[in-house]
Copies of this chain bind each other. A is one copy, B any other.
Amino acid sequence: MSRNNAGLSAERIITEALRIIDGQGLRRLTMRRLGDALEVEAMAIYHHFPLGKEQLFEALVAYISDVSRGASGGDGDEAQESTEDDGEGADDSSWDRRLRDWAMDYRRALLDHAQALPLFIHRRPDTEAALRTRELHYAAFAEAGLSGADVVQAAAALDSYVTGAVIHEVRANGLPAREPAAIDGRFPHAAALNGVELDPERRFTDGLDALLGSLRP
């Protein structure tokens, strides 16, 4: 029995790491546990990620951010296709529909891997897929009538919006509603509105509509 060639690959490592993160949390993703899950010694991972855990983290951010993945290799457990056009490349829908689709897909990807979100703060994917996404954003805003720095600013606003909305949603889910007892007369508005819940999906699309509307020249 050769104990070598366990069939390890970067993709297999990434998806297994994501499974651990999603199921047990970011802090429980350790090289040793990841090795166990892959039925391999932890040190084998370093052959595919020579720079260690930091390199794995960057790959995870790039993997999650690549919302357009799914045409070819993925044995992933989630459908990542928008509606029904399977073909890659050119999308002939309107600029705001393209941006809306991207925003919805990206939000879903972030929510599906909410435990990985801390990785996103100080890391940004430097891949061709990320560049494709940037091109998609710029082209759409150019088509909307913007130009120059306005395009960059609009793309930044869109990215900021999705990130901020998702984090707000995640933070809200974490903490249970305050018991009314703790909110006394000094906080009348907070007391009156305590427990008011908003439909997060609707909140997101409403805010998205408002943003895209305000960005059009």
| Chain A residues within 8 Å of B, Cβ to Cβ | 114-115, 117-124, 126, 131-132, 134-135, 138-139, 142, 148-149, 151-153, 156-157, 159-165, 167-168, 170-172, 174-175, 178, 182-183, 186-190, 193, 196, 198, 203, 207, 210, 214
Contact = CB atoms under 8 A, between A and B. Distances in A.
A113 to B, nearest CB: 12
Nearest to A160: B164
B168 A131 contact: no
B187 A134 contact: yes
A135 B207 contact: no
A27 to B, nearest CB: 9
Q: What 6 A-B pairs come out closest when comparing CB atoms?
A: A164-B164, A138-B189, A118-B118, A160-B164, A160-B168, A135-B187
Contacts of A159: 164, 168
B121 A170 contact: yes
A142 B183 CA distance: 18
Given A159-B164, A159-B168, A162-B164, 12 more contacts: A118-B122, A120-B171, A121-B121, A124-B171, A124-B174, A126-B178, A131-B182, A138-B189, A148-B196, A152-B193, A156-B168, A156-B172
Given A123-B174, A170-B122, A151 B193 contact: yes
A160 B151 contact: no
Give chain A's interface secondary structure class.
helix
A131 B164 contact: no
B151 A189 contact: yes
A189 B121 contact: no
A42 to B, nearest CB: 19
A180 to B, nearest CB: 12
A153 B160 CA distance: 17
B164 A167 contact: yes
B190 A138 contact: yes
